[in-house]
Structure formats: structure tokens, C-alpha cells
Amino acid sequence: MRFTRLPAIEEPVLEPPYAGKPFFSATFQVLAVPHYWLAALHQALVFPLTALVTSIVWFTWLTSAVMLTLTPLWAGLAPFGDAVGPGADRLRGWNLGNFMAYIVTLGERADAGTTTATVIGFTALGLGLVALYPLVSRGLVWTHWGIDRLLLGRFRNEELRQELSRTESSRVAAVVAEDRSLRRLERDIHDGPQQRLLRLQLDLAAASRQLDTEPAAARALLDSSLVLARDTADELRALITGFAPPLLADRGLAAALEALAARTPGTVETEVRIPGPLPAEVERGAYFVAAKLLANAAKHAEAGRIRLTADVVDEPGRALMLSVADDGRGGAQFVEGHGLTGLAERVRGLGGAFEIASPVGGPTSARVTIPLPLGG
């Protein structure tokens, strides 16, 4: 099978039958696994039958091809013209060659012209069979491969399950990342705006009580309430901008990346080629990764020049490629709790890949690939 260059048949995923199971279920559980039954069926019945049938086909085809191609030879050996005796006479000399000669000459009754035509026809037929032989042989191998795959290979749902467990791990990463940012948002709202609004109610209620008796104190409270309300609005705005940058929501990734680059201190060259809107989660993810990478480059790497590129590529699969390179001092590392780990997690959550090369002394270059749905 290995020489056929057909795709390898994936082995079924079998759980270790005995591991940590009680004696009976360890013994009998095997009976419940369809793969074992199918293997037995294959071994006892299907394989011998298939082998028999295919070998018969193969042998018949090959012999017919050879015999027919060699028809001129048999025709030459035919003893026609003389010795038209009783059949018993010639029986002695009967072998494969004579048999063919007999057929070619239509039982020796044909004249020379008809015989020549028959010889040519048979030879052509033989050559045809020879020419088709590779196809037949391939077909037979396919038959074996197909049957084996059906009985011995993974079931379709097992392939799906494998695929699923790969997706699962990226989904878990996404959930973890999302959960973490939601918790942070909740804490930020609780510590900031929520406390300020409470204090605001407190102050306004006090001002209302003091309005008639101590107008000056009430006015002071109202003034400070105004400041408090403004601070709350500022804080909420900062929170929301950090969570969902308005330009990204309004104009999409390309515009948001350009604005991001313009906002980043230092010289940021951009090359953004994103045709049309991408899925919202990809745009958000890509934006945050770019923002973090640009901030790192500007803050930690002391980079003089930063280059941001974003591209949608079609090979090997449709994907968004994002890269941030700087000429700074490098040394960026994956450390638990460091921003890079979170970035990688976020990218993995989108089913993408995150690579960074940052030797001490620089330069640093980070590359993010996020797969995109086809035609999306």
C-alpha cells in the first residue's frame, strides 16, 4: 500500500481498553468496539474474498493481454492447409499455442484473408488490453484501499472528533482570554464609575437637603458633583475605548490600524491592504494584538522606526497576516503574566498563530496569522 501513493489510512483512535477499568468491563468492553469486529470480519472473510476476486481479474486480464498480443506467433504455428484429419489426430498436439491457432483459423476452416484479418484484430485487442493494464491494476488497488479504509480506518465521526479536539483547544484559549478581560472590565467598572456614581447620589442628596438652610455649602457640593460626574464620564469613555475602539467599530480594521499607527509615538510606517470588512472577532483580535505590539515597540524596545503591515493572503489558506517590526533593543519574551502570553492566547483563540523573534539587542519582529473563512 505504501507504494501506491494513495493517502495513508488513518488508524482508528482506540482508547486503551484496560487502563483503570474493572476486570469485567476491561474484558468485555473490547466487544463493544466496532473496530475490533470489523477487523475480524476483514481478516476472516472480506480480505480473502477481495483478494480472490481481484487476483482472478488480474490474472485473467494479464494472460488475455499476453495471449492476444502474441496472436501472430500462434497463427504461424497453425498447421492449416494439411492434415485435415479427424479431431483425435490433432488432440495429441493440443497445447495453448495450437488452441490459439485453432481459434484464429476458425477451426481451420477460414481462408488466408480472413485469418489475416482475425490475426490483426486479435493483436489489436491484445495491445488494447496491455495498454489498459495499468488502469486495471490501479483500479484493483483502489478497491483494496477502499475496502480497507472502510473496515480498518477511522470512522468519519472519529475524524470529526479529532478535528473537534483541535478546535476545542483554541476555543478554550478564546474563552480563557475573554473571561479574563470580562473580569477585568467588571472590576474596572466596579472600582471606578460605580463608586463615583454612588458618591454622586450621596452628594446630590446632601446638596438638596442643604439647599434652603446652607445655600453656600449646597453650591459647593453641586460644583464638586459636577466634577465627579465629568470624571465618571471620562472614566467610562476610557474603559469603552479600551474595550471597543470607536473607529474600529465605525470604519473597520484598516482605518483603525492607520489611526493606531498615527497615535503611536515615533515613526510608524504602515502598509495596510485589507479588502473589505473581515469577521468582527478577527478585526477586534487583530486590532488589540497590533495595539499591544505597537505599544511594546514604542515603550519597551525604544525603537526608532516601527513598521506595521497587514495583509489578506490566499495561500495556503485565506488568512489575515499582521506583522510589527521595529529596530529597537529586542529581548521580548514569553513570561507568564507578561503581555506577550496574553497576546499569543488571544491569537490562538482565533485559531491563528503568533511568532515573535526578538534577540537581545534587537531587532524585534512579530508575525500573526489569523485564518479567515473562505469568501468572507
Cα(104)–Cα(234) distance, rounded to whole angstroms?
103
Nearer to other proteins, 234 or 355 (CB): 234
Nearer to other proteins, 234 or 281 (CB): 234
Question: Shortest gap between Cβ of 250 and other proteins (angstroms)?
Answer: 4
Nearer to other proteins, 31 or 262 (CB): 262
Nearer to other proteins, 268 or 350 (CB): 268
Question: Shortest gap between Cβ of 239 and other proteins (angstroms)?
Answer: 12
Nearer to other proteins, 173 or 290 (CB): 290
Cell triple for 95? 497445447
Task: Compute how many other C-beta atoms are within 10 angstroms of the C-beta atom of residue 151.
Answer: 19
Question: Shortest gap between Cβ of 248 and other proteins (angstroms)?
Answer: 10
Question: Shortest gap between Cβ of 280 and other proteins (angstroms)?
Answer: 13
Nearer to other proteins, 42 or 292 (CB): 292
Residues near other proteins, by CB under 8 A = 226, 230, 233-234, 237, 240-241, 246-247, 249-251, 255, 258-259, 262-267
Nearer to other proteins, 55 or 267 (CB): 267
Biggest CA-to-CA distance, the chain = 149
Question: Shortest gap between Cβ of 344 and other proteins (angstroms)?
Answer: 27
Nearer to other proteins, 162 or 241 (CB): 241
Question: Shortest gap between Cβ of 313 and other proteins (angstroms)?
Answer: 26
Nearer to other proteins, 284 or 348 (CB): 284
Q: Judge if the upstream peptide bond of residue 246 is cis by omega within 30 degrees of 0.
A: no
Question: Shortest gap between Cβ of 20 and other proteins (angstroms)?
Answer: 56
Which is nearest to 367 in space by CA: 345, 351, 344, 350?
Answer: 344
Question: Shortest gap between Cβ of 157 and other proteins (angstroms)?
Answer: 42
Question: Shortest gap between Cβ of 249 and other proteins (angstroms)?
Answer: 7
Cell triple for 37? 469486529
